[in-house]
Amino acid sequence: MKLTICSIGRLKPSPEKELQQKYIARIRWPLEIVELEVKKKLPPPVTKLREAVLLTGSVPRGAMVVALDQRGQHLSSQDFAGKLGGWRDQDRDAAFLIGGASGLEKRLRDEAHLVIAFGTATWPHMLIRIMLIEQIYRAQEILAGNPYHRD
């Protein structure tokens, strides 16, 4: 199973980037981070549509598409691990979509195989990326039966 995180915005050198790299180094599944951005200043609805085109174009063929959106399902870490484990066992790749500051375009949420949220709070999209990477690592450890995750 190959995992791809398709994310709007580039994470510049910072403590956040260091934390991202720390978790990426621990993940044994192939993981690619695709950073995308609309360089031109446009009205938010137009930017959101352009971001949707970029995100859609970055999804590997045949991958399970998971949209991250505050309106999505709230999965426990064990349930998230179960989803990844199922895809791994089916030899399916997964692509995670993280929108920009205005969120994901509705079409992306509607067409995704799964829409998940990390709680009801609104989180900065760059922080969501790091939270997702940590949850991927946690899922790996849960599936391996390692003690990283505790109830």
pTM of the model: 0.94
**Per-residue tens of pLDDT for the chain, all 151 residues:** 999 999 999 999 999 999 999 999 999 999 999 999 998 888 988 999 999 999 999 999 999 999 999 999 999 999 999 999 999 999 999 999 999 988 899 999 999 999 999 998 888 888 999 999 999 999 999 999 998 877 6
What's the CA gap between 78 and 151, in Å, rounded? 10
What pLDDT does residue 148 have? 82
What pLDDT score was predicted for residue 121? 86
State residue 2's pLDDT score: 98
Q: How far apart are CA 141 and CA 144, in angstroms?
A: 5
Return the pLDDT at 120.
Answer: 87
Q: What is the largest CA-CA distance in the chain?
A: 48
- Looking at residue 151, its pLDDT comes to 63
- Rounded Cα gap, residues 128 and 101, in angstroms: 11
Q: Number of C-alpha atoms within 13 angstroms, CB side, residue 3?
A: 22
Q: Are 77 and 138 in contact (CB under 8 A)?
A: yes
Q: What is the pLDDT of residue 125?
A: 83
